[in-house]
Amino acid sequence: MEIYFQLVRDPDSLKKACEELKNEPDLGFDVETTELDPYKGDLRLIQLSNGVNTKVIDLRAFGDGNGSLKTNPDLAPLRDLLASTKQTKIAHNAKFDTKWVRQKLGVEVGNVYDTYLASILIAAGDGERRHGLADVVQVFLQRTLDKTEQVSDWGADELSDAQIEYAARDAAIMPEVKAKLEERIQSDGLTRVLALENECVVPIAEMELNGIYLDEPRWREQLEKQTTIQSRTAEELQDMLAAGVAQASLFGRPEINLDSQQQVTDALLNLGVPMPNTTRAWELQPLADEYPQVAKLLEYRAAAKATSSFGQNILDFIEPATGRIHADFRQIGAPTGRFACSSPNLQQIPAEHEYRRCFVAPEGKKLVVADYSQIELRILADFSEDPNFINAFVSGADFHKATAAQVFGIKPEDVSADQRSFAKRLNFGVVYGIGASRFALMTGLTQTQAEDVLKRYFNTYPKMDAWLRNAARGVMTERMTRSGSGRIARFHFDPEDRSSVGAAQRYAKNMPIQGTSADILKRSLRLLHNDIQGTSIRLVNIVHDEIVLECDAADAPEAAAKLESAMTRAGSEFVQKVPIKVDVHIAEEWTK
């Protein structure tokens, strides 16, 4: 396929090129960079195309890339075109391109359409599908896109003809890719959710550039404490398991590999512990109260995971140029639409105060932390239209205490802390499609007791029970389900396999709820992004239903108000029958 493009390397050509493209409704948009990280490399090329007229702009001709691109007046036409909302900028994995343009040109790209996100939405949870640009072109256009030059040297003084043509071709094909994807987006009823995802691209790119500040001395102090705890618990666990080790040692206490599931299981069985088939934490937890060896094993595992997952490796991610951690957030990290995070995974930082206190506001700044209160239960109440369920939230009463009163047949004021905790586990378990067997394992109840508790629970909320049953039945015929925005999850299972059917039915109950929670968070990020323009307020982290901002200390009350407002408005777009509650506070540290 022939491609016609212009290499732009001077101010007059750039001005003319931008004039030619500024009235186009759709523009393919791509960048070429010398590194993957905008704090470590240069932005070399920007490509823009209407599908026929393609411009490849060599930024090396306009500055050194070390801040001069932001201030060079010759680049004003390009900055204006990228910032304009008149044209849809079509990019594949648009977060990457928008992040580089924001960092190097100081421009927020307007009106983004991400073909990568569109492809993921169309796949609807099909893990076999690949979503690279070449894969998408192959699937939707039945053509081959050569990506050989992708890993070439983009920092060379003179780029080769092959490199320039490769760059031009990637941008030129984007309008055609979008047109083909849109056919499926519309026919599958995904227009609303794709708009939600596209509007979230720039806020997430901005958040990654902002990064979050980690107090290194505090982190090292915590790591030292955790290493000591791990060593102590390992010694204590070895002592407790020694009598269960088959082979004795002539040289003292027999040692086993505490990280070997088989060796630990054998030792516990020899000690008379009725071990389940696996040693996952939720299956072991009910045994912990009766068998101190199991409680110690869980304690050791927690310490070992903390040391390996949240140790020196986290400090290695601090960017020298900023002194902050700039994690990578994947917008559709799960079929439900939830984010995934890596390098490092900030979403898995333990909630304990000892860890969260290490993430702080720099001097003169404050953190503003907010999270949705029981958002998934509120979504379930709204979807099920159960009057008792809805009234429990509308009344403003303690929902878990109210549930405990119903389950135990007592007055709310007589509910104990343990009973409330029990009801809380039950409430959240229902959201994940919990059955009697799993609930019995979680709580230590017998199967019969668990069945009785669930029966009383669902008698209290009959329409909620009906909604969950309908969700489970629906998956058998529809083989799909949707979130509030229309996000689809498709199911592939053997109807003769009880295990796979059960897993699909549990997921069918949970996906619309968790998916809608993800929809709400993403909508709130866009509303918030719009509201904080021109202020000191910066988005620095998200964890499922939680948002963390950083701002000048004097602006903290304003930031708290804007954050609560954006989150409440977003929730109310998807949930109308129960109030949305947001807990927000101002802090020096990332704590709740």
pLDDT at 445: 83
pLDDT at 250 > cutoff 70:
no
DSSP 3-state percent helix, strand, coil across the chain (nearest 5) = 55, 15, 30
Q: Give the mean pLDDT of 358-384.
A: 96
Q: How far apart are CA 85 and CA 113, in angstroms?
A: 11
What residue segments make up the domains of the chain, in order of their start? 5-188, 216-312, 334-375+518-587, 378-515
**R_g (Cα) of the chain, nearest Å:** 27
In whole angstroms, give the CA distance from residue 11 to residue 414.
Answer: 77
Residue 251 is predicted with a pLDDT of 57
393 alpha carbon, distance to own chain's centre: 27
Provide the residue type at 384 as one letter.
S
Conformation bin of residue 357: beta by default, left when phi > 0, alpha when psi is -120 to 50: alpha
What's the pLDDT at 46?
A: 98
Reply yes or no on whether the pLDDT at 3 is more than 90: no
* DSSP alpha helix (H) spans, 399-461: 399-408, 417-431, 436-443, 447-460
Q: How far is CA 538 from CA 23, 181, 205, 212, 557, in A?
A: 33, 33, 12, 10, 14
> For the domain 5-188, what is the CATH code?
3.30.420.10
213 DSSP 8-state letter: -
The whole-chain average pLDDT of the chain stands at 92
Distance (Å, whole) CA 480 – CA 124: 9
Q: How far, CA to CA in Å, does 467 sit from each of 327, 382, 407, 439, 511?
A: 38, 11, 20, 20, 13
For residue range 472-520, what is the model confidence (pLDDT) as tens digits? Answer: 999 889 999 999 999 999 998 888 898 899 889 989 999 999 999 999 9
Question: What CATH number has the domain spanning 378-515?
Answer: 1.10.150.20
Which strands, in side-by-side order, build the sheet including 112-114?
Answer: 5-8, 54-58, 43-49, 26-33, 88-91, 112-114
Chain centroid to Cα 1, Å, comes to 39
The full 3-state SS of 8-37, as one line of letters, equals ECCHHHHHHHHHHHCCCCEEEEEEEECCCC
- For residue 422, what pLDDT is reported? 86
Instruction: Supply angle C-alpha 473, 475, 480, rounded to 5.
Output: 150
* Tokens found for residue 498: 């009880």
166-192 pLDDT, tens digit each: 999 999 999 999 999 999 999 999 999
Side chain identity at residue 588, one-letter code = E
Give the mean model confidence (pLDDT) for residues 99-121.
Answer: 97
The CATH classification number of 216-312 equals 1.20.1060
Q: How far apart are CA 433 and CA 102, in angstroms?
A: 42
What whole-number distance in Å separates Cα of residue 491 and Cα of residue 224? 46
**Cα 291 to Cα 273: distance, rounded to the nearest angstrom:** 7
Identity at 63, one-letter amino acid code: G
- The span from the CA of 570 to the CA of 575, in Å, is 9
Average pLDDT over residues 35-57: 96
Rounded to the nearest 5 degrees, what angle is found at the Cα of 246, between the Cα atoms of 243 and 249? 75
Topology agreement, domain 5-188 and domain 378-515: no
**DSSP code of residue 147:** -
Q: CA 465, CA 460: separation in Å to the nearest integer? A: 9
The single-letter DSSP state of residue 360 is: B
Average pLDDT estimate for 560-575: 98
Predicted confidence at residue 74, as pLDDT, reads 95
Residue 489, SS3? strand
Distance, in Å, from the CA atom of 256 to the CA atom of 245, rounded to the nearest integer, reads: 8
* Contacts of 563 by beta carbon, 8 Å cutoff, 6+ apart: 368, 370, 528, 547, 549, 582, 584
Instruction: From residue 325, give the alpha-carbon distance in Å to each of 33, 43, 210.
Output: 21, 21, 9
Give the residues across from 488 on adjacent strands.
482
Pairing of strands 546-552, 538-543: antiparallel
pLDDT digits (tens, 9 = 90+) for 291-312: 999 999 999 998 888 888 898 9
Where are the strands (E) in 240-332, listed by range? 318-319, 324-325, 328-330
In this structure, are residues 512 and 482 in contact, taking their beta carbons and an 8 Å threshold?
yes
- What is the SS3 assignment for 323? coil
- For the segment 233-241, the average pLDDT, to the nearest whole number, is 91
β-bridge mates for residue 550, sequence order: 367, 538
pLDDT reported for residue 248: 54
For 334-375+518-587, CATH number out of 3.40.50.300, 3.30.70.370, 1.10.287.1080, 3.10.310.70 equals 3.30.70.370
For residue 64, what pLDDT is reported? 63
Give residue 172's Cα distance to chain centre. 31
Please state, for a pLDDT cut of 70, what percent of the chain lies above it: 98
d(CA 460, CA 138): 53
Q: What is the mean pLDDT of residues 344-361?
A: 93
Using one digit for the tens of pLDDT, what is the confidence trace for 75-99?
999 999 999 999 999 999 999 999 9
